Amino acid sequence: MNYNKKTVKDLDVKGKKVLCRCDFNVPQDKATGAITDDKRIVAALPTLKYLLEQGAAVIACSHLGKPKGERKESLTLAPVAKRLSELLGCEVIFANDTIGEDAKAKAAALQPGQIMLLENLRFDIREEKNDPEFAKALADMAEVYVSDAFGTVHRAHASTAGVAAYLPAVSGFLIEKELEIMGGALANPKRPLVAILGGAKVSSKIGVINNLLDIADTIIIGGGMAYTFIKAMGGTVGTSLLEEDRLDYCKEMMAKAKEKGVKFLLPVDTLCAAEFSADATPELVETMAIPADRMGMDIGPKTIELFADAVKDAGTVIWNGPMGVFEFPAFAEGTRALAKALAETNAITIVGGGDSAAAVAQLGFADKMTHISTGGGASLEFLEGKELPGVACLLDK
């Protein structure tokens, strides 16, 4: 996969109509519809401001939620247009449809230095189907396509990939950074490269483990997924998360690590509980011998030391998935301690999106990381080494 893609800076956008795919999929209050976190709108500002300053006429577009091809008033992007206008300090013209009469008329009248926002792309079923006619209708409103929604680059939708067939396609600054840092870490990492994988399930990270075994020097496994590995090694895991149907896979991965000389670290001690509850009393046990009526909820202090030691002299650390049930304070220490260890290394530290990003933010270490990916599913597929349609469609440098 080529991560070296042209960016907005490689094109002259002055006086041009630019279709910019943003990620305005913001969380909203269910009752009032108010935006509860505008981080994604704020994140889009550098690219949008740059385009406006260069004298482009910007047609921004995004999806919001899962309307499944139907117009749902609760998922209109109108509140996003309002918030975006406040943040940019200028009017954001809002189109009541995506490729309909209103959008076309407003796009045609748009002047350099002005910005408009199309209505929720997923109100039209053809968006997610990557329908060529829908993609062409989007493209027909503009002369250049800028992709800046990293969270959807793993999807081949009309606005994330299809439009690139009709317009010169480049990345915005958000995607540029993701490609530079994550792409750099995979293609040409500063070594040693340590990958830390956690979270609930082995099955959701099979492709990631497999790919990273070809690239990393050390792989650390924590979180709920560790217990399937422990069982595969002959340990007892009690009532911990276990994926029986992945035991052979775990054995294969450990054999592959051995064959490739990749250090493969698993928890040696575990904080367990009698039940999955925030009020459960943590009990410390050896990971290979979890009692039959106990479940592993977090890594223990010896494991924290082992894992922290492994990242201390790393050149690059890639982290995806919490080390335990960090949502419960009694079982958050493993994730917190590892976040702290990452914050203290001189390594390039990259945190995958989704739960890992939430954990790092919740525990107060977000500004200590080199990069926190803005995509959950997208960053997983990135780490799997898969071709991302929303990246592959951009012009090579």
Compare residues 165 and 288 and give the one whose CB is closer to ligand AMP: 288
- Asked about 14 being catalytic, the answer comes back as no
Q: How far is the CB of 298 from ligand AMP (least distance, A)?
A: 7
DSSP code per residue over 261-287:
T-EEE--SEEEEESSSSTTPPPEEEET
> 3-class SS at 19?
strand
Stretch in the footprint of ligand AMP (CB under 6 A) among 121-129, 143-151, 175-183, 196-204: 196-204
Instruction: Kindly tell me which residue out of 200, 285, 306, 343 binds ligand AMP, with binding defined by CB under 6 A.
Output: 200
- Asked about 201 being catalytic, the answer comes back as yes
371-372/348-351 β-pairing: parallel
**For residues 77 and 123, is the Cβ–Cβ distance under 8 A?**
no
- Asked about 315 being catalytic, the answer comes back as no
Under rule CB under 6 A, residue 151 binds ligand AMP = no
Under rule CB under 6 A, residue 183 binds ligand AMP = no
Hey, what long-range contacts does 132-137 have (CB within 8 A, 24 or more apart)?
A: 132/158, 132/162, 132/165, 134/99, 134/158, 134/162, 135/159, 135/162, 135/163, 135/165, 135/166, 136/166, 137/99
Stretch in the footprint of ligand AMP (CB under 6 A) among 15-23, 63-71, 194-202, 259-267: 194-202
Under rule CB under 6 A, residue 299 binds ligand AMP = no
Catalytic residue among 40, 155, 205, 246: 40
Under rule CB under 6 A, residue 35 binds ligand AMP = no
Under rule CB under 6 A, residue 79 binds ligand AMP = no
Compare residues 147 and 240 and give the one whose CB is closer to ligand AMP: 240
Which positions from 329 to 368 touch ligand AMP by CB under 6 A, shown as an x/- string?
-------------------------xx-------------
Q: Which of 358, 339, 345 is nearest to 314 (CA)?
A: 345
**Cα angle at 351 between 121 and 187, to 5 degrees?**
90
Under rule CB under 6 A, residue 199 binds ligand AMP = yes
Compare residues 97 and 286 and give the one whose CB is closer to ligand AMP: 286
Instruction: Kindly tell me which residue out of 185, 241, 262, 383 binds ligand AMP, with binding defined by CB under 6 A.
Output: 241
Q: Which of 245, 268, 249 is nearest to 207 (CA)?
A: 249
Instruction: Give the Cβ contact number of residue 234 at 10 Å.
Output: 7
DSSP code per residue over 82-148:
HHHHHHHTS-EEE-SSSSSHHHHHHHHHPPTT-EEE---GGGSHHHHTT-HHHHHHHHHT-SEEEE-
Instruction: Kindly tell me which residue out of 296, 300, 353, 375 binds ligand AMP, with binding defined by CB under 6 A.
Output: 296
Length of the chain: 397
Number of residues this chain uses to bind ligand AMP (CB under 6 A): 16
Q: How far is the CB of 189 from ligand AMP (least distance, A)?
A: 22
Distance CA 274, CA 296 (A): 9
- Asked about 354 being catalytic, the answer comes back as yes
Q: How far is the CB of 79 from ligand AMP (least distance, A)?
A: 28
> Looking at the annotation, which residues are catalytic?
40, 201, 354, 377
Catalog residues that contact ligand AMP under the rule CB under 6 A: 199-201, 204, 223-224, 241, 296-297, 321-322, 324-325, 327, 354-355
